[in-house]
A and B are shown apart, each in its own frame.
Chain A
Amino acid sequence: MQEIIQYLFSGITTGAIYAVIAVGLSMLYSSTELINFAHGEFVMVGAMAMVTFWVHLAWPLPLAILAAMALGCTLGLLFERFAIRTAKASNPIVLVIITVGASIFLRGTGMLAWGKDPFSVPSFSSHESIEILGAALLPQSIWIVLGAIGLAGGIHFFLKKTLTGKAMVACAVNQKAAWLSGIPSERMAVLAFAISTGCGAIAGIFIAPITMSSYDMGTILGLKGFCAAMIGGLGSLWGAFAGGILLGVLESLGAGLISSGLKDAIAFILLLLILYIRPGGLFAAKEAKRF
């Protein structure tokens, strides 16, 4: 029993990481209908920026977090302006390949900027883990879960309650109609990108203390985030959140109860089964039909 609780805690910690990443991806999809395969690299940028700003330059924590976020947003902005918008491709798969190119480019830049070695970042708060029913819960896990809920909630509020957010959703639903009704759709796309990559950077900021950061950490995280977003249902923020937690818990339970070598396979088999039963993901708002 004690073990099961520990597996759940471990799963929620990892799952929350996936969730934060998935929320950023899902947010971009709900406003531009694009999946950014370079999203994991923005997570890397966030984590590595924390290494530079907080650990090496010893800036105060809030300032370091803000700077890392700003870096993520700026890079996303530049990426949208110079790569995505210039492309004007009709086929979304072309845009996807551009993001793949961007991910390789960012990884290469990260390697030059920070070197090939991994780095470690201290925890935001005290090191001691909290004991609940004989299982240990890391303080940083609580930070991550709170961060994920905060992010999903904040973006949900932004898209549903603010004028800019609603305008952004309108662009995704029908860009021409949105443009006709006076929404500057290009500016909306830039904004969506900056927010989404900023979310990626935030994910990196929260993850850095839990694990080790290196220039090549992003790929697998981006992939898991993509899976989480798909399971939850594209475009649904809370779905992405739930998908992330579900993926983390499945992996952890799979490792604990069946086999740690096969944990990813177990998680993926279950995820595929979910997809077969609910082809649009758990919380699909609408069926995604592009490509």
Chain B
Amino acid sequence: MIMKRISMAIAVLVMALLAADGLYAASVYKIGGIFSSTGRASFLGDPEQKTMEMMIEKINAAGGIDGVKLEAVIYDSEGDPAKAVSAVNKLLHKDKVLAIIGPSTTPTTLAIVNFVERAQVPLISCAAGVKITSPVKPWVFKTAQSDLLAVAAVYQHMKARGIKKIGVLTVSNSFGESGKHQLLNQAKDFGLEVVQADSFGAKDTDMTAQLTKIKAAGPDAIVCWGTNPGPAVVAKNVKQLKIDLPLYQSHGVASPKFIELAGDAANGIILPTGKILVTGLLDGSDPQRAILEDYQKDYNAMYNANVSGFGGYAYDAVNLLAGALKGSGGDKNKIRDALESTQGHMGTTGEFNFSAQDHNGLSPKAFVMVEIQNGTWKLIK
């Protein structure tokens, strides 16, 4: 039985090792990052993390902020709320960061909101959910456009085309659920009727059953709300079932990857997107164009990859934070106040105008509608 006690002693030892604390003071501004760099939502987290690393490097190369260098501490949440909680506590209490950027998804953000509020550390989330900033929480901001605005943009376009009845198909995760909520809620405001609403699993291999059901309800158009790869399967299935209706998708698939996945089936699909996808098509006078081109050039040079709107959320978050850090002397209260009073900040996603009532700060102008034609984006004016 002495052995039992030994194994117990080992268990205790492991815990004791943890108790050893490694604290050191440093004359840098430590910025935390939590992104779903791997796992289901890696298409969000991966470009976000890369963008943040790139931006921090860029700011440091230019001499830092008020002469103080930035240091990024980034953890991977794998899109798992429990892992995000673990990461946020590490950032707050072990790394002792000044502010946090991320997480990438709505559930991971909501999971850590309580912790940053309690610790009074500013958080700039890169997730889309309306719940994050409504109701407003003092320390929580976000740079991604709310799905509220995306749905409004889609419905505006439908209304202009004279569409009356729609079928809704959403993915059964937080992105699709939040989108479905907005789609059902706002339909009346635009004189639309949702005749059939269905959902599909994020890893489903075939959505023909749902599409058949929607087709039978006789809508004028179908809206699919999801993130890759599901919507690409939907696009293929629509074509295979020979459903001859306009297909709308969400900003969740606004990346070249979607066109690659859906192939020919992508043609004719209409979706809302941040301007980042169509930088080259924007008017020269568009105030966002210069910023977007900058971001694209830097990202391309560093990672030899194309930018996406998702990485743009992190780009804006870092820039907003850098602006707020200026003159703050590393005081979290000052950073928060500076963030809240940011006005007219031009970012990749749109123009940010924060206030005590609005911690997202974007207007519907943050979205443009595009149509996919011959494997490329075409701006709808």
The interface of chain A, by Cβ under 8 A from chain B, is 3, 6-7, 9-11, 13-14, 17, 111, 116-120, 122, 127, 129, 135-136, 138, 207, 210-212, 214, 216-217, 220-221, 251-253, 255-256, 260-261, 263-264
Contact = CB atoms under 8 A, between A and B. Distances in A.
Interface stretch (B131-139, B142-150, B225-233): B225-233
A264 B172 CA distance: 12
Nearest to B230: A212
B260 A120 contact: yes
26 contacts: A3-B212, A3-B213, A6-B208, A10-B208, A13-B208, A117-B228, A117-B257, A118-B261, A120-B260, A129-B240, A135-B212, A136-B240, A211-B204, A211-B205, A212-B232, A217-B203, A221-B203, A251-B209, A252-B209, A256-B209, A256-B212, A260-B209, A261-B198, A261-B199, A263-B209, A264-B201
Given A129-B240, A211-B229, A7 B203 contact: no
B216 interface: yes
B117 interface: no
Interface in B210-249: 210, 212-213, 216, 228-229, 232-233, 240-242
A7 B229 contact: no
Contacts of A111: 38
B40 interface: yes
Interface residues of B, number: 34
Contact of A116 (B42, B200, B209, B232): B42
A116 B38 contact: yes
Given A116-B42, A127-B264, A220-B203, 5 more contacts: A17-B205, A117-B228, A118-B228, A255-B213, A261-B198
B248 to A, nearest CB: 18
B242 A255 contact: no
A210 B204 CA distance: 11
Nearest to A248: B206
Contacts of B229: 118, 120, 211-212, 214
Nearest to A117: B257
Nearest 6 A-B pairs (CB), nearest first? A212-B229, A211-B205, A116-B42, A118-B229, A260-B198, A10-B208
B141 interface: no
B35 interface: no
A216 B40 contact: yes
Interface in B179-211: 198-201, 203-206, 208-210
Contacts of A264: 201
A120 B232 contact: yes
B380 to A, nearest CB: 26
A118 B261 CA distance: 8
B205 A210 contact: yes
Contacts of A220: 201, 203
Interface string B291-302: 000000000000
B329 interface: no
Given A120-B260, A210-B205, A260 B210 contact: yes
A9 B206 CA distance: 11
Contacts of A207: 205
A129 B209 contact: no
Contacts of A255: 198, 209-210, 213
A7 B261 contact: no
A136 B241 contact: yes
B43 interface: yes
